[in-house]
Structure 1
Amino acid sequence: MALALAYGVLAHLAAAWRSDLLSLAALLALVAMLLAAPIAARRAWSWLVLPLLVGAAFWLYGAGHAGVPLLLVPVAFVLLIAWMFGRTLRHGRTPLITRIVLALEGGPDAPLAPELIAYTRALTAFWAVLLVLLALLNLGLAAIATPDGLLASLGVTPPVSITRTQWSWFANLANYGIVGGAFIGEYAWRSRRFPNRYTSFADFLRRMGGLGPAFWRDLLR
């Protein structure tokens, strides 16, 4: 969590101040965030990948392109989460939201009402579609950012443009606001559609957190 926060701050400041050095720092924070868990678990491959990624970060910095990968990180991250939702919609699998509700309401042996099964499946699809659209919007904004967005880096002048700082406000901050707003809005709608399941939003969050890290780790596999 600390590395994720550090990355977000460094990436935003790098864009706002147009600093290659801060872009390099953000890339190194990203590498540390991605490899912290496997290194802590003593995975041999992580020690082999570490110098390659660090070397690539310094090479990009030396070439003056350390900020380019930062444009694609929000796109890749949001698409990854969308894939985690979407893959559970395949035939023979239990949709991700359905699995969460099963855990909240008594476990896999506690049957859900047919309307709740249909709702949780539709909700899983909603999150997959929303996140794909959000990733495409991030990609479009990264393409038209100036002076060093994706199109500008290729020598193409975008037909419309935004500043790199404006891109950063959206990619590094507004993304979370949109996701958080959708999460809260869906809870409000669900509380009316299926009343008396939770005493409050705080109770819902408490029960979600009470599922424990092992549940969330296994859920995302």
Structure 2
Amino acid sequence: MISPSPENASRHGVLLLLAAYPLLAMAGAITHRQVFALLALAVLLTVLMLPRLRTRRAMPWFAWLATLAALLGAGQCGFATLLLEAVPLLINAALAFAFGHTLVAGEPLVARFIIAIEGTARLQQPGVARYARQVTGFWTVLLGAQAAVLAVLLLCADRTGLLNRFGMASPLPVPENWAAAWLHLGCYAVLGAAFLLEYGYRRWRLRHLSHPGLRDMLKQLALHWPQLRRGKGVAMP
């Protein structure tokens, strides 16, 4: 029997953690038990820090343990659930800024995707650079709009909303269960559906070009993510 490589084992571990996160988050939202919220936050923190933890250097492990201790302290004070509810808002807002910032800087993030996956020459082909700008703008608007919706839910949810917690009447009461479902599942489902729809539309819009398969594209995005974050001086035609 062939044992899995360390790289494959690590990838499978990340996938298991990512699958556990929404289950723990929903369990925390439904039961209002701090332990589930703490576990969900710990899983998310581990996924985010795993590349640095794998270097086996002392500082990343110290930062990971210190953050876990801070989360435990937040749980003891009853704030773990609130932190967990803020995660989707922070993710969407950060991604909206990332897409929008590169668009303003003249180096659209989607152009970086194209270069990382298919090379610089691909960006010079007819219609590709313009489409990269348009899709970067689309994701900026979608993520920004969803961040605004999540902010409303975080403020206005019945019982668990920030306004209710501070004794203020909500101008737009949202059922608690609906707010929790959208915060921890619905918002991610929208992003996944938008990604798949954009992929299909791109293949139709740029049908005069060949395209990598969805699986290959996702693999290349994961492999080149450091390059995508830093940018490589993309020159837009």
Q: Give the structure 1 partner of residue 188 of structure 2.
A: 176
RMSD (CA atoms): 2.4
Give unmatched runs, 5+ long, in structure 1. none
Kindly tell me the number of residue pairs found equivalent between the two proteins. 216
Per-residue Cα deviation, 1:88-113 (whole angstroms, up to 9, x for no partner): 2233x5322123334444x1145523
| Distance 1:80-1:43 versus aligned 2 partners, 3 A rule | farther
In structure 2, which of residues 86, 90, 107 is the aligned counterpart of residue 94 of structure 1?
107
Q: Return the TM-score normalized by structure 2.
A: 0.79
Q: Return the TM-score normalized by structure 1.
A: 0.84
Instruction: State the distance in 2 between where 1:49 and 1:98 align.
Output: 33
Q: Give the structure 1 partner of residue 26 of structure 2.
A: 12
| Distance 1:192-1:68 versus aligned 2 partners, 3 A rule | same
Instruction: State the distance in 1 between where 2:210 and 2:125 align.
Output: 17
| Distance 1:147-1:87 versus aligned 2 partners, 3 A rule | same
**Per the alignment, in what secondary structure is the counterpart of residue 22 of structure 2?**
helix
**Per the alignment, in what secondary structure is the counterpart of residue 170 of structure 2?**
coil
Q: Give the structure 1 partner of residue 85 of structure 2.
A: 71
In structure 2, which of residues 21, 42, 47 is the aligned counterpart of residue 33 of structure 1?
47
Instruction: State the distance in 1 between where 2:208 and 2:215 align.
Output: 16
Q: Give the structure 2 partner of residue 214 of structure 1.
A: 223
| Distance 1:15-1:21 versus aligned 2 partners, 3 A rule | same
Per-residue Cα deviation, 1:104-163 (whole angstroms, up to 9, x for no partner): 44x114552353211211111111121111111111111111212222222222123223
The reply on whether 1:149 has 2:199 as its aligned counterpart is no
Instruction: State the distance in 1 between where 2:103 and 2:183 align.
Output: 27
| Distance 1:212-1:195 versus aligned 2 partners, 3 A rule | closer
CA contact (8 A) 1:12 1:165 kept: no
Identity score, percent? 30
| Distance 1:24-1:184 versus aligned 2 partners, 3 A rule | closer
